[in-house]
Amino acid sequence: MILTVTLNTALDITYRVRSLRPHASHRVSAVTERPGGKGLNVARVLAALGHEATVTGFAGGGTGRAVREGLSAISGVVDALVPVGGSTRRTIAVVDELTGDTTQLNEPGPQITPMEWSAFLDTYEDLLAEASAVALCGSLPPGVPVGAYAGLVRTARTTGAPVLLDTSGEPLRRGVAARPDIIKPNTDELAELTGSHDPLRATQDARRRGARAVVASLGSEGLLAVTPEGRWRATLPTHVHGNPTGAGDSAVAGLLSGLVEQMPWPDRLARSVALSAATVRAPVAGEFDRVEYENLVGRVAVTGEATAA
Amino acid sequence: MILTVTLNTALDITYRVRSLRPHASHRVSAVTERPGGKGLNVARVLAALGHEATVTGFAGGGTGRAVREGLSAISGVVDALVPVGGSTRRTIAVVDELTGDTTQLNEPGPQITPMEWSAFLDTYEDLLAEASAVALCGSLPPGVPVGAYAGLVRTARTTGAPVLLDTSGEPLRRGVAARPDIIKPNTDELAELTGSHDPLRATQDARRRGARAVVASLGSEGLLAVTPEGRWRATLPTHVHGNPTGAGDSAVAGLLSGLVEQMPWPDRLARSVALSAATVRAPVAGEFDRVEYENLVGRVAVTGEATAA
């Protein structure tokens, strides 16, 4: 199975309002809820691609219960979340009906105690024994040490499971130094890590900091991958419109499934770009449209070259 | 006991953000949650005044569980909420740290089935047998007939329990026609009911529509009461600054407790105005500050006269 770690799981709530105006009162016309957090989104897409995915991280309180109930309805995803005393955070996306624009409110997440963190580390080690690959995803809840991902990368390396790290800021900086197999920063995250706004230069710099392969997500410009096996650029010929929520998580699922299936890099990148675009095009935020995906995957242009053996 | 009915209970959530900007992403710095809905707020204040209060209405889902857990921690308040299949709504108050201004997002509430509505009516009748007074408070969730309050007023009248109705719009219009003992509209609700923006004229008109007594809440201008026993105006000598959330519910608790204690109208009004102001001044939204209340209650000026016998 593929293991995804989401330390700061979330109950993702979407509100529709006519038009959000600060300091006014709004009647919400529609409410939807789904289990969220990057690693949960990655697992959902992995399961849709036919992989068995196990999710771990933390869940607690009434919101944690709602996350677990939602997870239990997704076939192919196994819930190995660790219970905590605090409450799983909510994220609220307020969608303006007039413009389609979204305002986001993200709770910080529960305070994790040292005992809960230690219980998670035990669970993580147990799960690693079965894992063909690991994705470490998203922000850290309060109480989790900022170097957490570095430790989780090192533990995974002792079992031989390849590790993809998808986070930002200081947790990314520290995690990269522990030598993960893949990181998938977007341009902002890459610039924050390296200080450079030039994607190629920043990607190369991120590799020097410890990442074995760097797959930079350039938004509508596709993916730029710099790896020991070669360097590629993958793009769609046409611009895709829609809701970008979850597009990065679908890209991670594409990279990870391709790695486990031992696909060559160009095929992994094509799958990632197509999954990402099929997520942007899907009517429900964070889901991917399978028909779109099948249509798009053959149309991704991958340029670049393998490193001379 | 005093019975308060809240058909659309809520989990009231408060977020603090630096400054709310539409279409941006916000990190919430602090989250608080409390059981809400007007009748629950009224019951909380009644209990603080030493009355036994029973709350009924609907609760369901994870949010309903959170409401009931919160209620169980309030001494003097008995939970007689009726379980439903849908989820209790959330209300989200987003407070700007820079300005203190609040943006409100209110979910519509669960869809109530005819069977759930019928179960509520049975519970309501049972509770009425024990009730010395009843408050019918707030909006109606989807599925509850718009004439619901009119029916609940009539049922209460058959048991002799005096009824205070605090709602707005069409539910208020229909409820008033069923002859409740007291209504407590604010100026907007009164204008919507009567078409008149003149408080005295509108208050008199609301009585002609069926309300036995009308206590109009004029915000910082205090209360205007027009009743069969006389006509009074109650105001504080100084303007009170703070958060008006729950001030109207505290006023209802003042009127209802005064009625049950058989206080003369001027004393009821003084209590209501002081409770309302002590709620505005309290550091926590919706709570009242007891010391402020004790200080203020003697300073309320009540003018007017009793009807000649």
Distances (CA, A) of B231 to A95, B157, B234: 48, 24, 10
Distance CA B10, CA B184 (A): 21
- For the cut 90, the answer to whether the pLDDT of residue A170 exceeds it is yes
**Is residue B15, in this structure, part of any structural domain at all?**
yes
List average pLDDT for each run of 10 residues in chain B, which is 309 residues long: 98 95 94 95 96 98 96 96 97 91 94 98 97 97 97 96 97 97 96 94 96 94 95 91 86 97 97 95 81 94 88
Domain range enclosing B52: 1-20+29-139
**Is residue A91, in this structure, part of any structural domain at all?**
yes
Number of domains in chain B: 1
Q: Report the DSSP pairing between strands B133-137 and A77-79.
A: unpaired
**What are the pLDDT digits (tens) for A216-248?**
999 888 999 999 999 999 999 888 887 788 899
Distances (CA, A) of A8 to A81, A125, B2, B100, B114: 11, 19, 44, 29, 40
Q: Which residues of A are designated catalytic?
A: 249
Per the residue annotation, which of B79, B181, B249, B289 is the catalytic one?
Answer: B249
How many C-beta atoms lie closer than 10 Å to residue B309's C-beta? 4
Looking up tokens 């997870």 gives A71
Q: Say what the pLDDT of residue B242 is.
A: 79
Higher pLDDT, A61 or A244: A61
**What are the pLDDT digits (tens) for A150-160?**
999 999 999 99
Chain A: closest CA distance from residue B29 (Å) = 7
**Beta bridge partner(s), residue A102:** A95
**Is residue A253, in this structure, part of any structural domain at all?**
no
**What are the pLDDT digits (tens) for A66-75?**
999 999 999 9
Q: Within chain B, how many helices (H) and strands (E) appear?
A: 10, 16
For helices A187-194 and A169-177, angle between their N-to-C axes, nearest 10 degrees: 70
Percent above pLDDT 90 for chain A: 89
Binding-face residues of A in 192-211 toward B, CB within 8 A: none
DSSP assigned state of B13 = E
> Is there a contact between B28 and A102 if contact means CB atoms under 8 Å apart?
no
Residues of B in contact with A20 (CB under 8 A): 22, 103
Q: Say what the pLDDT of residue B225 is.
A: 97
**Is residue A301, in this structure, part of any structural domain at all?**
no
Q: Order of strands across the sheet with A102-106?
A: A30-36, A10-17, A89-96, A102-106, B25-27
Asked whether the beta carbons of B94 and B22 are under 8 A apart, the reply is no
Residues of A in contact with B103 (CB under 8 A): 20-26
* Residue B22 contacts A where some CB pair is shorter than 8 Å: yes
**Is residue A21, in this structure, part of any structural domain at all?**
yes
CATH number at residue A12: 3.40.1190.20
**Is residue B51, in this structure, part of any structural domain at all?**
yes
**Is residue A46, in this structure, part of any structural domain at all?**
yes
Reported ipTM exceeds the 0.90 cut: no
Q: Say what the pLDDT of residue A309 is.
A: 63
The distance in angstroms from the start CA to the end CA of chain A is 31
Q: Which of A90, A95, A91 is nearest to A29 (CA)?
A: A95
| Mean pLDDT of the region A158-167 | 96
pTM of the model: 0.89
Residues of B in contact with A169 (CB under 8 A): none
* Residue A100 contacts B where some CB pair is shorter than 8 Å: no
> Is there a contact between B31 and A107 if contact means CB atoms under 8 Å apart?
yes
Please report which confidence band the pLDDT of residue A100 belongs to, taking 50, 70 and 90 as the band edges.
confident
Binding-face residues of B in 108-137 toward A, CB within 8 A: 108
Residues of A in contact with B105 (CB under 8 A): 15, 17, 26, 28, 92, 94
**Is residue B85, in this structure, part of any structural domain at all?**
yes
